Amino acid sequence: MKKLTFKVVIAVMAILMLPIQAVQACCGFIFGRQLTADGSTMFGRTEDYPYYPNGGKHNKNYVVVEGKNYKEGDQIVDESNGFTYPHAANEMKYTATYDSARGDGSNGAFGEHGFNEAGVSMTSTVTAIPNKKVLAKDPLKADGLPEAAMLDVILPRAKSAREAIELLAKVIEEKGSAEGNTVVVADQKETWYMEILSGHQYVAVKVPEDKYAVFANTYYLGHVDLNDKENVIASKDVEKVAQEAGNYKTDKDGNFHIAKSYGPEKYAEGDRSRTYAGITLLDPKSKITYEDDEYELFRSPTDPNKKFTLEDAFALQRNRFEHLNGRFIPDDQIGVKKQGDNGANDAVRKDQYKYALGNENVIDAHVYQIDPKLPKSFGGKVWLGLGPSRNTPYVPFYGNVQDTYQAFKPQTATYDPNSWYWTVWHIDQMAIKNQDIFGKTVQDHWKMLEKQFIIDQEKKDIEYYSLKDQPEAAKAAEHKVTKDALDLSDRLFQHFKDYEKLMEKQLEAAGRKSDPYRASQPDDKQDSSTPEKPDTPKTPEKPKATEEVNKNVLPAEYYVAAPPTHDIPANAEGNPNNRFGYAATANVQVFGQASTRTEAPQAQGQASQEPSQAPQTTVANAEGNPNNRFGFAGNYEGGKDFKNIGTFSNGN
């Protein structure tokens, strides 16, 4: 049904000659090491999933893929579009964060981000949309390299960040690209940023250590010295293709401008809102305006003494325009169906409502912290927010873990109480749909935990710094690293279940109901017979005094006393964060600490005990793939009447 629905939508759009565009999906950032308080490089991305009928509810699996030897003729076969590429004879171990739907013939792997055992880290991709003129000259390839397979091609074999970019370039030249994409790859020595501009054109640059960047679903590179082979890796015809396409653009000094030549004439609204919000959050004194024609990619803070922290990275990915003093409000707060990058629905919604970084479609947020003082094989740490960034905690894991916790592995398509993703997704849904009860207390609780995680990780880092020049000892430490990661994950997941249960109790006390099984169903499958919100909600009751925190779940230092009350403005109807129009409620008890949990999670939705971790090789026809996110036939070589890409409604 998913496949049929998707094909019908695309077919109708093609017949009507309507623009078929990639949805606003994903936003990345980079902090150069000279701009961070601890001297580490940080980069990351939010993975958005706005695709009907599963917008904002798409399970992810954080796993370890073991190194493996392959014989000649063995190939990677991606099920999202049929892309193939030979396996290397000896492939390294790496981590990945796959779509749970991989292997069913309809989706693709979408590993998205990870570390390999050589200490190389990668996030792929932030989708970007080439313009029509360029694509008429150098079309995307229907069976070219897709986002879905990129991580599995690069991480098993790249031993440095530069080698990863060189391999990406080689694959694009040989096989072509299925999509326009932006990729970030790093090791302990350098970080690279790459824009894949069309079917065979690309430019990658070494990121300056004294700059930061925020980038959404478009191109940002301006003028680049293509002759600087030390710091730039580019396709040989990148200027020629722009010229022959009749879209060669220059900067004010007459130099070739990459983004203007290959990207849209102006930023899509969702790209502008996230870029502007990110820059102004990180640099409040920046002179940029919302209406600027272009935003420079690599930037210096206005304050020369500014140093970024992990908390800055988390705040960036959670940002919902709070720092703009009411100028903008996240568009998910008025139930607007986002029509997309072409601005089709701008006329029917107030200009105040914009697409936020911490939006309703985020399914995976991650921050990579690359510390050169750690052993090379550690790579660094990923701070994993596996769920909606607005109400999900970031949890640290070293890059050399040998295994991940069982709750990261269920390949379930709807709510599963044994799944990490689905549990934090449900917590977020309760928080965002009942803000008059929970306010920001859920996010504040996770922030409190994160502060303790940061303290604990600093202690662990110091312990492992001593192994920097002892590769054998660093290798032996993987067992302890993994044990610690599994132990933290287990205790934290139990805490999630306690937290989820007490939130449900508070909703029941208010006369409201949360049904994650129903809510997680595809939008075209949900039973609408029972409303999720009663017409007349009650004032929530205070939790009973007997509901105490299970001190065995997390150490005592992870807990603080629950705040007594949460005051809601009298005119709740006018509160921009009151999405569902609940009547004003004064002095409401907020959610505090979790109740004691002694039983196992519910049996419903029980996942298979040991789901596949590595991507499957089942090939699905690209045209019939409901989650072939950007592989619409009109984009490709030989496709008819290509229309430059924008969004369609996800029905949320």
If you average pLDDT over residues 156-174, what whole number do you get?
A: 99
Instruction: Pick the closest to residue 216 from 272, 266, 176 (CA basis).
Output: 272
Residue 526: pLDDT band with limits 50, 70, 90: low
Co-location of 163 and 200 in the same domain: yes
**Nearest of 537, 480, 541 to residue 514 by alpha carbon:** 537
pLDDT of residue 24: 54
Query: In this predicted structure, what is the pLDDT of residue 25?
Result: 78
Residue 555 pLDDT > 70 = no
The per-residue pLDDT for 11 is 33
Q: Report d(CA 101, CA 107) in Å as an integer.
A: 6
Among 340, 372, 402, residue at a domain's last position? 402
**Distance of alpha carbon 524 from alpha carbon 448, whole angstroms:** 38
CATH number of 312's domain: 3.60.60.10
Give the residue numbers spanning the domain of 285.
2-402
In a domain, 650, yes or no: no
- pLDDT value of position 14: 31
Residue with tokens 């190194």: 67
- Please report the pLDDT score of residue 647 as a whole number: 25
Exposed/middle/buried for residue 366 (C-beta within 10 Å: 0-12, 13-18, 19+): buried
310 and 234 fall within a common domain: yes
What is the structure's pLDDT at 194? 99
619 vs 548, higher pLDDT: 548
Active site residue 26: yes
574 with 513, same domain? yes
Angle at 501 between CA 500 and CA 502, to 5 degrees: 95
Rounded CA-CA distance 457/554 in Å is 15
Residue 519 shares a structural domain with residue 396 = no
DSSP 372: T
Residues 34 and 86 in one domain: yes
Q: What is the pLDDT of residue 556?
A: 53
Instruction: For residues 160 and 280, state if they share a domain.
Output: yes
- Which is more confidently placed, 348 or 458? 458
CB 551 within 8 A of CB 593: no
**For residue 230, is it within any domain?**
yes
Q: Which of 38-52, 194-208, 571-585 is least confident?
A: 571-585
> Do 91 and 140 share a domain, yes or no?
yes
Given a cut of 80, whether residue 219 has pLDDT beyond it is: yes
Q: Is the pLDDT reported for residue 30 higher than 80?
A: yes
pLDDT at 312 over 90: yes
Average pLDDT over residues 430-439: 94
Reported as a pLDDT band with limits 50, 70 and 90, residue 247 is very high
Are 42 and 135 part of one and the same domain? yes
Question: pLDDT tens-digit profile of 588-637?
Answer: 232 333 333 333 333 333 333 333 344 433 333 333 333 333 333 334 44
What is the average per-residue pLDDT within 273-282? 99
* pLDDT reported for residue 333: 84
Among residues 217, 63, 1, the alpha carbon closest in space to that of 126 is found at: 217
Q: What is the percentage of the chain residues whose pLDDT exceeds 70?
A: 74
**For residue 554, what pLDDT is reported?**
52
Among 490, 605, 613, smallest CA distance to 103 is for: 613
**Pick from 97, 103, 59, 1: which is nearest to 605 by CA?**
59
Q: Which of 424-433, 513-522, 545-554, 624-633 has the lowest mean pLDDT?
A: 624-633
Domain C-terminal end among 402, 423, 457: 402
Residue-wise pLDDT tens digits, 118-134: 999 999 999 999 999 99
Give a yes or no: residue 642 inside a domain.
no
3-state secondary structure 186-253: ECCCCEEEEEECCCCCEEEEECCCCCEEEECCCCCCCCCCCCCCCCEEECCCHHHHHHHCCCCCECCC
Token pair in block for residue 33? 């090491």
Residue 413 has pLDDT above 70, yes or no: yes
Q: What percent of the chain has pLDDT over 90?
A: 72
Q: Average pLDDT, stretch 340-345?
A: 44
146 and 292 share one domain = yes
Last residue of one domain, picked from the residues 371, 402, 433: 402
Distance in angstroms (rounded) separating the CA atoms of residues 564 and 584: 18
Structurally, how many domains does the chain consist of? Answer: 2
pLDDT over 90 at 240, yes or no:
yes
Domain shared by 501 and 381, yes or no:
no
Q: What are the beta bridge partners of residue 206? A: 192
pLDDT band at 578 (very low <50, low <70, confident <90, very high): very low
Buried b (16+ CB within 10 A) or exposed e, 523-558: beeeeeeeeeeeeebeebeebeeebebbeebbeeeb
Please pick, among 25, 26, 65, 171, the residue that the annotation labels catalytic: 26
Q: Are residues 169 and 145 in the same domain?
A: yes
56 pLDDT band (50/70/90 cuts)? very high
- The residue-averaged pLDDT of 28-43 equals 99
Tell me if 119 is assigned to some domain.
yes
pLDDT at 488: 98
User: Does 35 share its domain with 90?
Assistant: yes
At 622 the pLDDT is: 32
Q: Provide the mean pLDDT of the chain.
A: 82
Highest mean pLDDT among 215-224, 329-338, 351-360: 215-224
Poorest-pLDDT segment among 150-154, 397-401, 435-439: 435-439
Establish if 644 belongs to a structural domain. no
437 falls within a domain? yes
Report whether the peptide linkage leading into residue 125 is cis, meaning its omega lies within 30 degrees of zero: yes
Per-residue model confidence (pLDDT) at position 161? 99
Which of residues 446 and 556 earns the better pLDDT score?
446
